[in-house]
Amino acid sequence: MTKLMVLAFCILVLLNIIACVPSSSAAPLLGNNNVTKVESYMLQNGLGQTPPMGWNSWNHFGCDINESLIRDTADAMVSTGLAALGYKYINLDDCWAELNRDSQGNMIPKASTFPSGIKALAHYIHKKGLKLGIYSDAGNQTCSKRMPGSLGHEIQDAKTFASWGVDYLKYDNCHNNGISVRERYPPMSEALLKSGRPIFFSVCEWGKEDPATWAKSVGNSWRTTGDIKDNWHRMTSIIDVNDKWASYAGPGGWNDPDMLEVGNGGMTTEEYRSHFSIWALAKAPLLVGCNIQAMDNITYELISNSEVIAVNQDKLGVQGKKVKSNNDLEVWAGPLTNNKVAVILWNRSSSNATVTASWLDIGLKSETIVDARDLWEHSTKSLVLGKISVELDSHACKMYVLTPKRS
């Protein structure tokens, strides 16, 4: 075979993974579910080599969505420059479909709010260089009870989504009749792999059955917690739960502590800066959840920080984690490519505090000398030795990338 033929073959295998795995019997997937078999191979859709970035409608708009909102949001993603920074996915959440399937059992877009259909919307979004995400549920209704779920319709719905040009599926966990998530999520994963289109699979079972321990073979990301809320307490408690699963994340499969609330108004600027910094360090999906069309300058400054985004998208793909905690004064850190280290000093207490990270806390030898790049000040302090220490307002953080010079 020529090199070109080998390359073409590899691409075909990647796009059409079914060719490489034992095919299942023709019986309905749910009825004849064989979890062991599905889990015997890793999810091989080639997606999610770095955490996904984009936008999702839920945190700001809930069920009040329609095709003009989605198109306008896509326009704003491009015109603000956010798309060029990596925010590619424009994701619909709940409430895009009619409650009832058509006479052939297909899901249909809600005529009153998506009159042009999802295929036309995908076309519009693809023309802008962006990708379209959609939403369904591993039960027989979605959480809003305004849409059918995909339980028992996995193959049909995956084919429908692929035929529309969908690039991402968030798969929720409501109205599931108490059936284990380990039975309900793999059939959709397999159906997507066989759909003929690479579709990022976002497992959203809220951390119910410790998905970090099994979902890497099923999805490209898995929620580790219940829903985020737009307040400090919920944001901090969610990221602590997510942190426990740090060692399971990596290229192709990420822990998901839920979507961003930055810009929705329930936290202070320093709290949102902490939220964005920690999500980036934890290699969480960066799915903006505010109204992009009306965001203020501070929100834009936070979510468009290319140095913070670069930590999230670092090719090494190791989730940064909490390495030190002392009365709400915390150090979070993780390795990056080229022996760099990302570190966050975070004061979660209710008053000013000095937070210190010593090199031994964050995986550097104590004699190492680094250049410390402050990712929010966009300034570099040269030749720092042994530790880095900073005074912080309540709930504020500092985020650095440390580049070792010699040791």
Please give the Cα distance from 157 to 154 (Å, whole number). 5
Q: Could you confirm whether 374 is annotated as catalytic?
A: no
The answer to the question of residue 379 lying near ligand NAG (CB under 6 A) is no
In the complex with ligand NAG, the residue whose CB is nearer, 151 or 311, is 151
The answer to the question of residue 174 lying near ligand NAG (CB under 6 A) is no
Nearest partner of 122 among 110, 132, 133, 109, judged by Cα: 132
In the complex with ligand NAG, the residue whose CB is nearer, 225 or 347, is 347
CB of 14 to ligand NAG, least distance (A): 23
Torsion of CA 291, 197, 48, 245, to 10 degrees: 90
Residue 53 C-beta-side C-alpha neighbours within 13 Å:
23
- 234, two tokens: 């919920």
Q: What secondary structure letter does DSSP report for 181?
A: H
Please give the Cα distance from 182 to 187 (Å, whole number). 9
Give the x-and-dash track for 56-75 against ligand NAG (CB under 6 A). -----x--x-x-xx------
| 57 three-state secondary structure | coil
Catalytic: which of 75, 227, 240, 374? 227
Using only C-alpha atoms, the chain has a radius of gyration, in whole angstroms, of 22
In the complex with ligand NAG, the residue whose CB is nearer, 21 or 318, is 21
Nearest partner of 235 among 112, 89, 346, judged by Cα: 346
Task: Using the rule CB under 6 A, give the single segment among 217-225, 227-235, 280-288, 327-335 that binds ligand NAG.
Answer: 327-335
Q: Which of residues 118-157 bind ligand NAG (CB under 6 A)?
A: 140, 151
CB of 237 to ligand NAG, least distance (A): 16
| 319 three-state secondary structure | coil
Catalytic: which of 93, 94, 137, 172? 172
Q: Which of residues 333-372 bind ligand NAG (CB under 6 A)?
A: 349, 351-354
Total residues binding ligand NAG (CB under 6 A): 23
- DSSP, residue by residue, 87-131: --EEE--S--B-SS--TTS---B-TTT-TTHHHHHHHHHHHTT-E
Q: Exposed (0-12), middle (13-18) or buried (19+): which is 342, by Cβ within 10 Å?
A: buried
Task: Using the rule CB under 6 A, give the single segment among 45-53, 195-203, 261-269, 325-333 that binds ligand NAG.
Answer: 325-333
- 343, two tokens: 């570190």
The answer to the question of residue 301 lying near ligand NAG (CB under 6 A) is no
In the complex with ligand NAG, the residue whose CB is nearer, 38 or 402, is 38
CB of 191 to ligand NAG, least distance (A): 16
Q: Please state the φ and ψ torsions of residue 57, each to the nearest 5 degrees.
A: -75, -20
Interface with ligand NAG (CB under 6 A), residue from 2, 36, 104, 379: 36
Interface with ligand NAG (CB under 6 A), residue from 34, 144, 339, 356: 34
Task: Using the rule CB under 6 A, give the single segment among 42-50, 229-237, 251-259, 387-395 that binds ligand NAG.
Answer: 387-395
Task: Using the rule CB under 6 A, give the single segment among 4-12, 92-100, 307-315, 324-332 that binds ligand NAG.
Answer: 324-332
In the complex with ligand NAG, the residue whose CB is nearer, 212 or 399, is 399
Indicate left, alpha or beta for 213 from its phi (over 0: left) and psi (-120 to 50: alpha). alpha
In the complex with ligand NAG, the residue whose CB is nearer, 257 or 263, is 263
Q: Which of residues 241-300 bind ligand NAG (CB under 6 A)?
A: 297
Please give the Cα distance from 326 to 353 (Å, whole number). 11
The answer to the question of residue 377 lying near ligand NAG (CB under 6 A) is no
In the complex with ligand NAG, the residue whose CB is nearer, 50 or 113, is 113
Nearest partner of 259 among 8, 19, 36, 91, judged by Cα: 91
CB of 24 to ligand NAG, least distance (A): 9
Q: Could you confirm whether 172 is annotated as catalytic?
A: yes
- The answer to whether 96 touches 114, Cβ cutoff 8 Å, is yes
**What residues are paired with 355 via a beta bridge?**
390
Question: How many CB atoms within 10 Å of residue 310?
Answer: 16
Catalytic residues: 172, 227
By CB under 6 A, name the binding residues for ligand NAG: 34, 36-37, 61, 64, 66, 68-69, 140, 151, 177, 297, 327-329, 349, 351-354, 391-393
